[in-house]
Structure formats: structure tokens, C-alpha cells
Amino acid sequence: MKMKIIGILIGLMLVTTIFAVAQNNKTITKETSTNTSASTTYSVDVPVWEIGDQWTYKIDNITITTNQTEIYLSMDQLPLTVTAVDETSYTLHFETSVNGHSQINADIGDGPINVTITLPNLQISGTVKIDKSTLGINALSADLTGRFWIDIKNQPYIEFSLPVLPFKVTTNLISDFSHSVSILTFPLNTTMIWNSTATNLTMNGEIRSPWFYFIKILNQITTLLGNPLLPPEIEALLPIVNIQEAFTTLGTSNVFGIPMIPGAFMCLNTEMIIVNDVTYDAYNITILNGMAECFYAPTAGSIVKLTGNLEEIIPLVKNINMELVSTNYT
């Protein structure tokens, strides 16, 4: 009998390594975004960032969900530092660690599969490219290194219980947006309603693990004995998993369409808000009819608080709670 569980584990690693992908894989070919605004005495223009400017955030929770998977992540410190400036964009560097866990409940036809994956101290570093005019994300490049602990609580393929398995993994993830994705719009004032931006998210990169080499060699041996462990399409991905090829094998594209949402954002007032013992005069931006809330403070030159459900704008992000810890912006 083929040990399908090994192939399933590889798929689970792909799910837990790629943090956020769209549920909708329809490609958007044209940007559709408009603003409705009226001038007020509370209008503010886009801030100007300089090399060395830094914002450090704390993220208590990011919840990522699909039909069969939930992933919970947190970051005590997410420092973002401007390292380069060109005519249209800023480049920010980050280096931090992530903790979290994932619960996977699936059934691919043979019976229920229940898996818990723990991600202790996953190291992440990389860069994010920000559009100057909107402070929206243009691209993200990240290197992830760490060890996952996989606890297979229930599976229909092997009669005996499996131990908790360590899974060391190194991932390079590259994400590009065809149009920058931003919550903000400028000039920003207190009588505004604006749309989200239609865009395409393209995901590329590689996933490496010593386990992949071991599994490939083991599969070659069992294949010679006439009883391969893996389906050919899964075996072909190993030992270095190309993310684009993995999506193709899973029956989807690595390009995900994020549609425009009319009236996704609304700013009607400013208010004094205390974030980590600092008081800001901030623009209160309501997102998706109150599903989420964002506070932008001109004195900080950036968002100081973001909380709520962003799933329709950032696919699969069911919940986020992010606050500014410190900044040197002046």
C-alpha cells in the first residue's frame, strides 16, 4: 500500500510556508479604482520618507484561514527600515522571528486527516517595496528559516501512531503585485470614501528541506522494489520545491486575482488615540463596513494601528491586530 501520508506532509509544508494566497485565482487584467472626496480643513498629503526612517510594529495575531486550515502567527517585533529610495518607491528591510501554530483538518476521500503544526521562532528577513504615492505594497521578498513540529493526530493510511516530527525548512518567497495594494489614499481628509485596487498577486520562490532529499531517495528505492511511496507528480517536485511548479501540481496558478471592492474604505473623522503609551492625532479609517479599522497618524508618517478582518482585501487574512511600538520618523 502506498504511504500517501508522505505526499500529504509535503503539501502541508507548502500550505504553512506560504502565508497568504488568494481564494480566487481569476486574473485581473485591468485596474479599476476610483476616489470620492471633498476638500476639508483636515486634508493631509502623502508623507515623505528618508533612508534610515524606521517603524517597529507588534503583531499580536494574524489568523490565516482556508476551508480546511487555520494558521495563527505572532511577531513581538517587526522593524521596518527604509534602506533605499528611488523616483517611485521606497525599499524597506525587515528581520524578525515569528511564532505560531496551524491546525489542519482535511479529507481527500480516504478518511479524516488531523494535523497540528507548531512554528517556534521561525526566522524571517527580507525587503518590501512601497509605492511613494499611496504607501501601498508593490513587492515582497522574504527568506524563512526554521523548524516546524508536525503532530499527525489522525490519518487513514498507517495503522500505528506517528511521533511528533521535526521538519527543518528554508524558504525563499517572492511576491509581486501588478498594482500596489494600499489601505490609504492621498491627499487624505475626513470626508472620503474610496475603493480598493484590483491587482494580481504573483508568488514565486523555492522551499528546501533535508527531509525532501531523504524522501526522494526513499521513494527511488521503493520504486525500484515496485512500491513507490509518492505519486509521480509529487516526486517530480523534490528535492527543491519550486513554488510555481507546486501550485501547478496542486491544480492552480501562482497568479491570484484580487478584485476591486467599491467603497471598501471610509474616513469620516480624526481622533486622539493612545498606542503603546503614545498619543496620536490619527485619521480613523473604517474598512469593509466596519469589519476592520485602521488609524493613520501624520506625525508618525504611517499607520499606527490596524485591527480586524481583511480577508476580502488581503486574501485569507481573517484577522490581524497590529500596533506601532516605536518610530524615529520626524
Give the model's pLDDT for residue 157: 65
Average pLDDT, stretch 138-152?
92
Give the model's pLDDT for residue 316: 67
If pLDDT is split at 50, 70 and 90, which confidence band does 2 have? very low
Give the model's pLDDT for residue 252: 81
Q: What percent of the chain has pLDDT over 70?
A: 84
If pLDDT is split at 50, 70 and 90, which confidence band does 199 have? very high
Summarize pLDDT for 263-320 with one digit per residue, the tens: 999 999 999 999 999 999 999 999 999 999 999 999 999 999 999 988 777 766 778 8
Kindly report which listed range (18-22, 119-123, 124-128, 322-326) carries the lowest average pLDDT score: 18-22
Give the model's pLDDT for residue 39: 35
Summarize pLDDT for 3-54 with one digit per residue, the tens: 444 444 444 444 444 333 333 344 444 333 344 443 334 689 999 999 999 9
What span, in angstroms and rounded, lies between the C-alpha atoms of 142 and 175?
A: 9
Q: Which residues contact 117 (CB under 8 A, 6 or more apart)?
A: 12, 16, 101, 102, 104, 148, 149, 150, 151
What span, in angstroms and rounded, lies between the C-alpha atoms of 4 and 229?
A: 7
Between 226 and 106, the more confident residue is 226
Q: Is the pLDDT at 55 greater than 90, yes or no? A: yes
The whole-angstrom distance between residue 137's C-alpha and the CA centroid of its chain comes to 12
Between 328 and 10, the more confident residue is 328
Q: What is the separation, in whole angstroms, between the first and last Cα of the chain?
A: 65
Instruction: Give the three-state DSSP class for 152.
Output: strand
Average pLDDT, stretch 129-155?
92
- Are 236 and 167 in contact by the 8 Å Cβ rule? The answer is no
Q: Is the pLDDT at 1 greater than 50, yes or no? A: no
Give the model's pLDDT for residue 108: 63
What is the C-alpha radius of gyration for the chain, rounded to an integer number of angstroms?
22
Packing angle, helices 210-224 and 4-17, rounded to 10? 160
Give the model's pLDDT for residue 16: 40
**What is the residue range of 21's domain?**
4-327
What span, in angstroms and rounded, lies between the C-alpha atoms of 218 and 235?
A: 11
Please confirm whether the linkage preceding 239 is cis (ω < 30° from 0): yes
Give the model's pLDDT for residue 35: 45
Summarize pLDDT for 179-195 with one digit per residue, the tens: 998 999 999 999 899 99
Give the model's pLDDT for residue 70: 80
Q: How many domains does the chain have?
A: 1
Average pLDDT, stretch 152-175?
82
